[in-house]
Structure 1
Amino acid sequence: MSTEPETTGDAEPGTPTGGAGTEGDAPGAGQVSEAEAELRAQQAERERIEQRKAEKQGPIESGGKLSGKAADLLAAVRAVESGEKPAAAVFTEPEPGPRRSAPEPAVRRPQPVAAETVAASAAPAPEAVRAVRALLGEGGAPETLAPQVAAVLGEDADDQLRADPWQLLRIAGVRPEQADGFARTLLGAGCGPDDDRRGRAVTVWLLEQAALAGHTALELPALVTALAQRGVPDPDRAVQDTIAEGEALVFQDALEESGAAPARAEEEGAEDEERPVRVLVGLERYALAEESLADGLARLANSAPKQDGPTEEWERAAASAQGSAGELIRAVAAHGLVLHTGSEASLAEPAALLHAARSLGLRAWAAAYAPIGRNRFAALLGRSGGPEVSPTAHSPVATVAGLLSGLEGPGRDADGALDLDLLVVLDAPQLDVETAALLAESLPDGARLVLAGDPGVLWSVGPGRVFADLLAVRICPQIASRRPDPGPLGELVSGIGVGELNQVEAPGREVVIVPVRDAGEAVHRTVQLVVDSVPRAIGVPAEQTQVITPGHGGAAGTRALNAALKERLNPGPGRFGGFDPGDRVVHSPVPGRVLPGRVVKADAEGLHLSCEGEAVLVPRERVEQSVRHGWALTAHQAVGSRWPAVVVVLPGDAAQALSRPWVYTAFGRADRHLSVVHGVEQALPKAVAEVPAKPRTTRLPVLLAPQMGG
């Protein structure tokens, strides 16, 4: 059976999508690799979330009155959490065992996990892999899944899988119909669509698919409908069983009412009047991360920042800055949490803030989403500031991943907090709830956090819409930059941001439209542009030109374009897993992040890459799943980076994948030149004018309201 995941557009679970991080030198004695450091940070966050779970007392807080199935569901969950036996009308299965409690936390902040522990847990035992491989073969599933299954399920993975074959759905890329076939082979006549194990597994799988689409939870009616579409005979019971087993959490959130009626009711003392609520079901890791994020942001927003300099000095620094840069400095002087919005040109304002803060003696750092963004901002600091900040290894700029893993940045203090006074996070729209939660919880009391970014770009690859939610709830000062991006490219992208695809004057051929009839012609013209036209007419060499296309598959997706570009730019036999020295690649050290680079060489140890000047070793066994060719990327993979020239490929079959944020992001990756290989006709202006970002279901605004006194 095939395990190719179901995806459309940018997202392709289990492959490099979105994000970028940073790699240190190849791991050796006493060193911690990028993947291990990332796993360490994630494990620390998981442990902190477990501690938070153990601290919770009592049932889930109610936001209003419920009736019918929703009321039964909430009552059942509360009964399970309190250890009582659920009502027979709700559950027909025996009472589940009590949930295990995490130990009481010794300190509030996450503590580092030993690299040896992470390294040991990252690779499953060979005997466990062999046992799983035998069971997969017995059930007709691809034996190549064995390492993943053993890593996800643990040492007794074969026993777990034999007891519940639908646990195979926990492996990225496996679909319900594939797990059904595996279960039928193992269970024979005892396998049926009404099996409770199947109902729970499909429920969790649907919540995982929702997370891949950006949701932190699903509304109960939507989840029940999706379960019915997947052939679950009793969707309500499947949800109840999943919650009872602790594999998901249920929430009810009060909805805001419009008009003056609620205020009048409160004045008249009508406290018992029902308020509309929505019932949500979510995976524990995302639900608790969102709660942790709300706590951390509220702590920063409600706390007075440390007095790191006389008010007059802050005001003097603000007065010396220009326009909205001065407004940003004043806001940061008085508040622990500040939002800053703007496009590429607006980066000059966080740079001015960083200079001002460091001149006042603050330990100020910036963190970018991608290594290219980090290096560009470091260079900007070097051009605009004093000698204490320059585009070198000593500049106060890191990637978010490097900062959290400890491979970059100031490190952590004795309490586990980041050793800084001010953190400016660039590309903030790319923060998912888990990364944002770890950042917020990692800041010491009295520190200042600035989240800066362009609200028009694609949201994070991971679940949540943190930056957009914060802009909507308005819990802190928001400074909007008044610096427009210059030139024809700036004019074009600014228009797209407000829903207008304008024709712009481009006397220097800054914008070129190349019409094509079909996908084959799109690939041909793209290769021609990268290899010949752009270097000759614009002066940008092929290695500085990035191709961006809507998806991985299809006749003009990243796979087809990368194959065509490799054939022209670096032909070779693919001596190591399809790669040759000189190949342009993207490396995904952990799912959801990509790191652009080039192949240097390959040997018995693995594939040696150079990623933004840093040496990276990808072990032989990790190459197939974590490295892809990178001449062509999706917009999600390209976000957070910019190149001198960009070729955006829009074949006819890409029309359904287009939206205003996608076009805004793709077109906005170009510094000097943009070529658009255009085969979607009127679908492009229609997408810009009429197709906004896909909505995401999140709880952050509701969670922030009571903490901010709202």
Structure 2
Amino acid sequence: MSTEPPETTEDTEPGTPGAAPQGESAASAPEGAGADPAEDGDDAARRSEAEAELAAQRIERERIERRKAERQGPIDSGAKLSGQAADLLAAVRAVESGAKPAAAVFSEPEPPRRPAPEPVRRPQPTPASDAPSAPAPETVESVRRVLADGGAPEALAAQAAAVLGETAADQLRADPWQLLRVGGVRPEQADGFARALLGAQCGPDDERRGRAVTVWLLEQAALAGHTALEIPALTAALDRRGVPDADAAVQHTLAEGEALAFQDALDEPGAPARRDEEAARDEDGEEERPVRVLVGLERYALAEESLADGLARLINSVPKQDGSAEEWERAAAGAGSAADLIRAVAAGGLVLHTGGEASRAEPAALLGAARALGLRAWAATHSPLGRERFSALLAPAAADAPGVATVAGLLSGAEGPGRDAEGALDLDLLVVLDAPQLDVETAALLTESLPDGARLVLAGDPGVLWSAGPGRVFADLLAARVCPQIASRRPDPGPLGELLSGVGIGELNQVEAPGKEVVIVPVRDAGEAVHRTVQLVADSVPRAIGVPAEETQVITPGHGGAAGTRALNAALKERLNPGPGRFGGFDPGDRVAYSPAPGRTVCGQVVRADAEGLHLSCAGAQVVVEKERVERSVRHGWALTAHQAAGGRWPAVVVVLPGDSAQALSRPWVYTAFGRAERHLSVVHGVEQALPRAVAEIPPKPRTTRLPVLLGTQVPSAG
């Protein structure tokens, strides 16, 4: 492993960009927003990818909510609760049933009972006319006046109107803390807004404040990957936010139906389950089991329950018999390392496949074998870059039968086989690549869209970062052991493969790199890190490695800081594509990271800008981003965070680790960033011993999820 750049050249240092706020993570990537649909006859053809995706997700969430409402009631896990946990559980059950909450817990009036909607069929592709529309100008203007009265930035008016709806202005005057529902607003800012509007009536013990901060904390937890929070964690966070009575705040939030409470029965660690007369029993003679009580937002709770239902349906059902057992066995016998995967898919409805980049050849072989047996087989990746890489692995004969789509395109109907008469995806086998990137909502949409008898394969590298959205679907399924798991034995080749294999087991090894496949570039400070990064991308890597600047990707831990994506992109633009940035800071030729929906990034390039918006080319597809959405959904893309880069691969990668990034490093982060390189990896190293310590000692941050427990109640073999 070399400790010098592959080739040094004289370079003039670009102007030092201003330091941006620190602490920004992948979860705060720019969010896209739907725009008004066109009004002429070709609406469906002109709708944007973001509109189609958001509309499809909205329809599916409505179906999940209706399904939840049709249930007779929550399933009792057999546990007995007491004290606060029992009160909370009784309260939420009373709210769900429409009965009055227990007087000992709530003193509020009975919330209105929700009518049970009629059952509906699976969602059909949504016409563009049903896509979310921007708030009316008069609504935005009325919200702007309220914000001005409360001293809040008027620039938040459009977002507040979109989140709160037509009555946004009235809601904000009645409850100023509703401003916390707008992304980026913090409790102390909402407190200042409330003081300006309410005057002496405003206080930290206001029930409205307690509810709003509770919901805000649950939203922040979702951004960190949690689908729910245990009550002690939630009340502790409320205490830190200055809520005088945290328990009451949680209770009021549940009473208003703004969150849900759950009890999950757990087995005592290290103690075998006992079912005989000597088992511990409560005063009613029923066996006691330890439980945990959690609180979560309905959106993620319903998605996680729907996901568990869909996975259990796949696991417990018999797959559609396409091809005889002998035909499947013949296909497996000639498939080399993919034989075990093919045999597992022949027998089960859900299969997990783990491995690195080289292991993708096995799902590709499975796809070819399934098609040969007559199955309607498709694969889905999380990005256009991943779609192109996987398509290249398929046999040339598959060129006439394209079977690779992006997950977003599959769900929206823009790509893939379309849907059948019942609204299910018109396929027999779906292979999802880069499965660790699946969050609970996307995974629920996929599983609920599969027809009865279909097979699902989730394939990915368990060492990479988890999804940007809430949940840890792939990791939870691996831990639950509810279905076959096939581990690939195909190692990634060369010095880069050797380096990555070591990182995966917690070892940062020095590898022999005779072709300068891995180069370490030590730096003293963030300014030098930016300078050396520009030098590597613009000069050294193209000359020594033969990879042009447009095929080299820079990866850094965060957006802020002196060497975050903002600073690096400013310096790289100045060197590689200087210009005035006439359209929102962008010029034709700029590399960009486009976020059509929260948590999803598509790499592209600016083509031009006009009255319609910013025209991008993203993996060959032409995208128009409306002017109003550019600031929120488009960033420069020469430098990305590891979360944004996950699922992509580039011929050369420069990983930048300035000294102030040590706290952001973990083994999954390093594994993901290093693993994006195909031929060459340069590490701009300024964190000294923090890098090997992160690889050896810092695992992924834990996430609170319910999927394993939910599967345990539905799948007999759940561990």
Q: Please state whether the residue corresponding to 2:520 is helix, strand or coil.
A: strand
Question: Which residue of the partner structure matches residue 44 of structure 1?
Answer: 59
Q: Which amino acid aligns with 1:114?
A: P
Is the contact between residue 5 and residue 173 of structure 1 (CA under 8 Å) also seen in structure 2? no
Q: Please state whether the residue corresponding to 2:293 is helix, strand or coil.
A: strand
Given the alignment, which residue of 194, 203, 214 partners 2:214?
203
Whole-angstrom distance in 2 between the partners of 1:499 and 1:303:
39
Q: Please state whether the residue corresponding to 1:387 is helix, strand or coil.
A: helix
Question: Which residue of the partner structure matches residue 585 of structure 2?
Answer: 578
Q: Say which is worse superposed, 533-542 or 262-271, in terms of deviation.
A: 262-271
- Are residues 1:636 and 2:611 paired? no
Q: Please state whether the residue corresponding to 1:98 is helix, strand or coil.
A: coil
Question: Which residue of the partner structure matches residue 690 of structure 2?
Answer: 683
CA offsets 1:185-209 (integer angstroms, 9 cap, x no match): 1111111111111100000000000
Question: Which residue of the partner structure matches residue 293 of structure 2?
Answer: 279
Q: Percent identity?
A: 78
Question: Structure 1 residue 594: deviation in Å?
Answer: 1.1
Question: Which residue of the partner structure matches residue 3 of structure 2?
Answer: none
For normalisation by structure 1, the TM-score amounts to: 0.94
Given the alignment, which residue of 307, 315, 319 partners 2:333?
319
Change (3 A) 1:310 1:523: same
Given the alignment, which residue of 172, 175, 195 partners 2:186?
175
- Are residues 1:219 and 2:221 paired? no
Question: Structure 1 residue 100: deviation in Å?
Answer: 1.7
Question: Which residue of the partner structure matches residue 339 of structure 1?
Answer: 352
Question: Structure 1 residue 78: deviation in Å?
Answer: 2.3
The correspondence of residues 75-474 of structure 1 with structure 2, limited to 5 A, is 75-93=90-108, 95-107=109-121, 109-118=122-131, 121-259=132-270, 261-263=272-274, 265=276, 270=281, 272-323=286-337, 325-381=338-394, 385-389=395-399, 395-474=402-481
Whole-angstrom distance in 2 between the partners of 1:164 and 1:110:
35
Whole-angstrom distance in 2 between the partners of 1:7 and 1:664:
23
Given the alignment, which residue of 51, 67, 91 partners 2:82?
67
Is the contact between residue 176 and residue 190 of structure 2 (CA under 8 Å) also seen in structure 1? yes
Question: Structure 1 residue 259: deviation in Å?
Answer: 4.3
- Are residues 1:8 and 2:23 paired? yes
Is the contact between residue 43 and residue 113 of structure 1 (CA under 8 Å) also seen in structure 2? no
Is the contact between residue 501 and residue 685 of structure 1 (CA under 8 Å) also seen in structure 2? yes
Q: Please state whether the residue corresponding to 2:623 is helix, strand or coil.
A: strand
Whole-angstrom distance in 1 between the partners of 2:486 and 2:506:
22
Q: Which amino acid aligns with 1:287?
A: A
The correspondence of residues 642-681 of structure 1 with structure 2, limited to 5 A, is 642-681=649-688
Question: Structure 1 residue 620: deviation in Å?
Answer: 1.1
Question: Which residue of the partner structure matches residue 501 of structure 1?
Answer: 508
Question: Structure 1 residue 84: deviation in Å?
Answer: 3.0
Aligned residues: 687
Q: Which amino acid aligns with 1:367?
A: A
Question: Which residue of the partner structure matches residue 33 of structure 1?
Answer: 48
Q: Which amino acid aligns with 1:338?
A: V
Whole-angstrom distance in 2 between the partners of 1:7 and 1:404:
35
For normalisation by structure 2, the TM-score amounts to: 0.93
Change (3 A) 1:261 1:588: closer
Q: Say which is worse superposed, 221-230 or 81-90, in terms of deviation.
A: 81-90
Q: Please state whether the residue corresponding to 1:278 is helix, strand or coil.
A: strand
Is the contact between residue 14 and residue 173 of structure 1 (CA under 8 Å) also seen in structure 2? no
CA offsets 1:644-691 (integer angstroms, 9 cap, x no match): 000000000000000000000000000000000000000000000000
Question: Structure 1 residue 59: deviation in Å?
Answer: 4.3
Question: Which residue of the partner structure matches residue 595 of structure 1?
Answer: 602
Question: Structure 1 residue 482: deviation in Å?
Answer: 0.2
Q: Which amino acid aligns with 2:56?
A: A
Whole-angstrom distance in 2 between the partners of 1:589 and 1:369:
13
Question: Which residue of the partner structure matches residue 24 of structure 1?
Answer: none
Q: Which amino acid aligns with 2:210?
A: G
Given the alignment, which residue of 480, 489, 498 partners 1:491?
498
Q: Which amino acid aligns with 2:82?
A: S
Alpha-carbon RMSD across the aligned residues, in angstroms, is: 1.8
Q: Which amino acid aligns with 2:497?
A: G
Question: Structure 1 residue 434: deviation in Å?
Answer: 0.3
Change (3 A) 1:5 1:488: closer
Change (3 A) 1:41 1:534: same
Whole-angstrom distance in 1 between the partners of 2:162 and 2:328:
52
Q: Which runs of 5+ in 2 are unaligned?
A: 1-18, 33-40
Q: Which amino acid aligns with 2:518?
A: V
Q: Please state whether the residue corresponding to 2:603 is helix, strand or coil.
A: strand
- Are residues 1:475 and 2:482 paired? yes
Is the contact between residue 13 and residue 172 of structure 1 (CA under 8 Å) also seen in structure 2? no
Whole-angstrom distance in 2 between the partners of 1:441 and 1:82:
26
- Are residues 1:529 and 2:536 paired? yes
Whole-angstrom distance in 2 between the partners of 1:599 and 1:262:
60
Whole-angstrom distance in 1 between the partners of 2:419 and 2:321:
21
Question: Structure 1 residue 115: deviation in Å?
Answer: 1.8
Whole-angstrom distance in 1 between the partners of 2:277 and 2:297:
35
CA offsets 1:268-311 (integer angstroms, 9 cap, x no match): 69562321111000000100100000000000011111110111
Question: Which residue of the partner structure matches residue 6 of structure 2?
Answer: none
